[in-house]
Amino acid sequence: MNKKADKIDTTSWSEIKDRVYGAKGTTRRKDLERDFEGFKIGLLLKKAREDKNLTQSELAEIVSKKREYISRVENDGSNLTLKTLFEIVEKGLGGKVRIQIEI
């Protein structure tokens, strides 16, 4: 038996991020974490839209945007202004935005 092939890799996700993107606090790691937060916003908006049984086109019409814009936001929420976020959530989805800042 090949002992090397039998060894289970127990590398954690944190260790992988440290190795690939650098330790917490480095510029590359901060960029990764910021991009990931944008991605999460997009997923949350998509789920909320689907929970309201709205298509991207219907939501876009409510907030006076193009369907393609809504698609981009859902796939990568990082390039989204706060004004537009509030419009989509409050006007388009009937929800409320809460923002938290950690220092």
| Per-residue pLDDT tens over the stretch 8-60 | 778 888 888 888 888 888 888 888 888 888 899 999 999 999 999 999 999 99
Q: Among positive and negative, which fits the CA dihedral 32, 38, 40, 42? A: negative
Largest Cα–Cα distance in the chain? 64
The yes-or-no verdict on residue 62 having pLDDT over 60 is yes
- Cβ atoms within 10 Å of 49's Cβ, excluding its own: 20
Residue spans per domain, the chain: 12-92
Q: Would you tell me which CATH number, out of the four given (3.90.1150.10, 1.10.357.10, 3.90.780.10, 1.10.260.40), belongs to the domain 12-92?
A: 1.10.260.40
pTM of the model: 0.75
Q: Let me know: does 60 contact 69? Beta carbons within 8 Å.
A: yes
